[in-house]
Chains A and B, each alone.
Chain A
């Protein structure tokens, strides 16, 4: 219960979705279900328990199906989650195992289910992947639903909540969250869950602040307690004192203002305070993403990945199939530029029925342009499709993974051959398109000046450049901490590339994830990178950053960073200097 003068408590959790809200707590209590009795049954009793269990599963499934039925299409991603849950009710590891356990151990259904669902959850204990780890929560939620039918304890119907509250729960299942009446909930707080759990995903899509993985929120918070949910900082403050309350009210207002501003300003040009103009482009993979790119204010497509068409088919796609897809994107974007990157794929990812081989180190193997040059017919087909699409708009051609000059010379030969064939075939095409290469291998950085003589532009792919420069696989948890875009070695590489491009008078773009992180922007600006391509969703925040920076000042930032010897130091310097600008990007 709320008691005047009760002490302020801060609990640290994981920021599920950014934003701040202040409100009264509403606890969704499921503890009644957690107390489970265990008792022995005889042969006949076991048969009865099995029946009871099967009935409970059936009821839970029906209820679940009714929830799915009642949802609109706007719940797309949640629907998928709910449908996946539907399958879990009858999963062998839960359904059959519970029946077996009742039979073999002659115990009641509740205890058998509890035991079995715990075993199932334990299978995910050592899993590193956050997505899969979150699936353990799915098992709990499904088991809890069945359990509530076994014990007769009814769920609290979230749809019956009738005031604007902050929902505090042990965990929220997709079925729970989908019944929430949005206007009545201002934030979520849960004991369980992580950044990739359903509660976080849903909170993000509803744009409600949430803090998850708090461990003990339900036991620390009482109904009607005043609580602050700081989804940006991953904190919950219970019974805040006046000063804290005041601080957070201010933060809340500026956060909301910031977001409203972001949306309004996404159509404004990316111009710095001192008038320097930058170009923000979008990375896309599918035609459908063109809409998101345009909505977020992209001035063009800086990286059109073309792998998807090669993964689905049992054969290589035809020139016509590729041409139609490329033309669609090019026409939708025209007159804005579309940079089409040729196949950047590992041989082992191409459909195995087309190409099977074993490689000890795929990242160092036959991938991207190497694969294409080994399979010139595949490459030729793609180049022809791109040159044809180029007659419908503004196209640039980008070759990935170039590691030496001879490769680009070979690529040129294939392009010439494509031109010849298209002429003979009398197809409409455009040969005068800029040719660029990805700079993502350290040898390409070192040879940048020589490479620049053969191409019209460079595009720095930071993801691979960092991986190859630091010799780390960032998916390997043991070394992932070494993956730092602001590593001095990486900054130096980018600088060398930019200097080579300047010297030879060719253009330079950056299209790796580094370009989409606001904190890196002062350094990239200071380095003289004027064209940045990123995922559509990152554009507004990066644009906001650029519009609030002074280009001359970023030169100083860069010079200062150049004297530093660790990513950490540089990071710290940027965070201190641009604290205000970065705070609301959830980068505090």
Chain B
């Protein structure tokens, strides 16, 4: 793997929405809360569209249903912990 790609992967995680209701208001609020602590931008991306993870409204407008795979992205290595936290939250099905 070349360096640039490896570097990029460090800043992004692909995760699948596993809770049956998909990305509804409460999960989005949990993500926005965590992303709120980030130093730089945090994004939730799917199929070409991207949402600001610090905004519940933006996340909801992506219309993410159960089973969808999304990419969580950060822009700065200082936010790696945020990336891990959000990915883990999504993978856990938001504890629902």
Q: A120-B57, A139-B57 are in contact. Are A92 and B63 (CB under 8 A)?
A: no
Using Cβ atoms and an 8 Å threshold, which residues of chain A touch B33? Answer: 87
Using Cβ atoms and an 8 Å threshold, which residues of chain A touch B55? Answer: 91-93
CB contact between B56 and one of A88, A124, A129, A353 (< 8 Å): that residue: A88
Q: Are the C-beta atoms of A92 and B54 separated by less than 8 Å?
A: yes
Please give the distance in Å from B62's CB to the nearest CB on chain A. 9
Q: A93-B58, A311-B19, A352-B16 are in contact. Are A127 and B25 (CB under 8 A)?
A: no
Q: Are the C-beta atoms of B57 and A123 separated by less than 8 Å?
A: yes
Stretch among A201-209, A343-351, A413-421, A577-585 lining the B interface: A343-351
Q: Are the C-beta atoms of A129 and B29 separated by less than 8 Å?
A: no
| A92 CA / B54 CA spacing, docked (Å) | 7
| A128 CA / B63 CA spacing, docked (Å) | 9
Q: Are the C-beta atoms of A92 and B52 separated by less than 8 Å?
A: yes
Contact string, B50-67, partner A, CB cutoff 8 A, digits 1/0? Answer: 001011111011010111
Q: From residue 8 to 52 of chain B, which have CB atoms closer than 8 A to chain A? A: 14-16, 18-19, 21, 24-26, 29, 32-33, 52
Using Cβ atoms and an 8 Å threshold, which residues of chain B touch A556? Answer: none
Q: From residue 60 to 98 of chain A, which have CB atoms closer than 8 A to chain B? A: 80-81, 83-84, 87-88, 91-94
- Indicate if B92 sits at the interface (CB-CB under 8 A): yes
Q: From residue 324 to 353 of chain A, which have CB atoms closer than 8 A to chain B? A: 346, 348-349, 351-353
* Pair count A-B, CB < 8 A: 78
Q: Are the C-beta atoms of A314 and B56 separated by less than 8 Å?
A: no
Using Cβ atoms and an 8 Å threshold, which residues of chain B touch A316? Answer: none
Please give the distance in Å from A468's CB to the nearest CB on chain B. 18
Please give the distance in Å from A122's CB to the nearest CB on chain B. 9
Task: Please give the number of chain B residues whose Cβ is less than 8 angstroms from any Cβ of chain A in the complex.
Answer: 29
Q: Are the C-beta atoms of B63 and A132 separated by less than 8 Å?
A: yes
- Indicate if A138 sits at the interface (CB-CB under 8 A): yes
Q: Are the C-beta atoms of A349 and B65 separated by less than 8 Å?
A: no
Q: Are the C-beta atoms of B25 and A84 separated by less than 8 Å?
A: yes
Using Cβ atoms and an 8 Å threshold, which residues of chain A touch B15? Answer: 352
| A511 CA / B62 CA spacing, docked (Å) | 33
Contact string, B74-96, partner A, CB cutoff 8 A, digits 1/0? Answer: 00000000000000000111010
- Indicate if A362 sits at the interface (CB-CB under 8 A): yes
Closest to B60 in A: A135
Give 15 new A-B contacts, CB below 8 A, not counting A128-B63, A352-B14, A352-B16.
Answer: A83-B26, A83-B29, A84-B29, A87-B33, A87-B56, A88-B56, A91-B56, A93-B52, A93-B58, A94-B57, A127-B61, A129-B63, A132-B63, A135-B25, A311-B19
Please give the distance in Å from B39's CB to the nearest CB on chain A. 15
Q: Which DSSP category, helix, strand, loop or mixed, fits chain B's interface?
A: mixed
Q: Are the C-beta atoms of A352 and B58 separated by less than 8 Å?
A: no
- Indicate if A312 sits at the interface (CB-CB under 8 A): yes
Q: Are the C-beta atoms of A314 and B91 separated by less than 8 Å?
A: yes
- Indicate if A131 sits at the interface (CB-CB under 8 A): yes
Q: From residue 185 to 199 of chain A, which have CB atoms closer than 8 A to chain B? A: none
| A80 CA / B18 CA spacing, docked (Å) | 20
Ranked nearest first, the 8 interchain pairs of A and B with the lowest CB-CB distance are A84-B25, A123-B61, A92-B55, A93-B57, A87-B29, A93-B55, A311-B18, A92-B54
Closest to A346 in B: B67
Please give the distance in Å from A513's CB to the nearest CB on chain B. 15
| A131 CA / B65 CA spacing, docked (Å) | 11
Please give the distance in Å from A116's CB to the nearest CB on chain B. 10
Please give the distance in Å from A355's CB to the nearest CB on chain B. 10
Closest to A308 in B: B20
| A352 CA / B90 CA spacing, docked (Å) | 11
Using Cβ atoms and an 8 Å threshold, which residues of chain B touch A352? Answer: 14-16, 69, 91
Using Cβ atoms and an 8 Å threshold, which residues of chain A touch B67? Answer: 346, 348-349, 362
Using Cβ atoms and an 8 Å threshold, which residues of chain A touch B56? Answer: 84, 87-88, 91
Using Cβ atoms and an 8 Å threshold, which residues of chain A touch B18? Answer: 311, 349, 351
Using Cβ atoms and an 8 Å threshold, which residues of chain B touch A128? Answer: 63
Using Cβ atoms and an 8 Å threshold, which residues of chain A touch B58? Answer: 92-93, 123
Closest to A352 in B: B16
Using Cβ atoms and an 8 Å threshold, which residues of chain A touch B32? Answer: 87, 91-92
Closest to B16 in A: A352
Q: A135-B25, A311-B19, A352-B16 are in contact. Are A91 and B57 (CB under 8 A)?
A: yes
Q: List 14 A-B contacts (CB under 8 A).
A: A83-B26, A83-B29, A93-B57, A93-B58, A124-B61, A131-B24, A132-B60, A132-B63, A135-B25, A314-B91, A348-B16, A349-B16, A352-B91, A362-B67
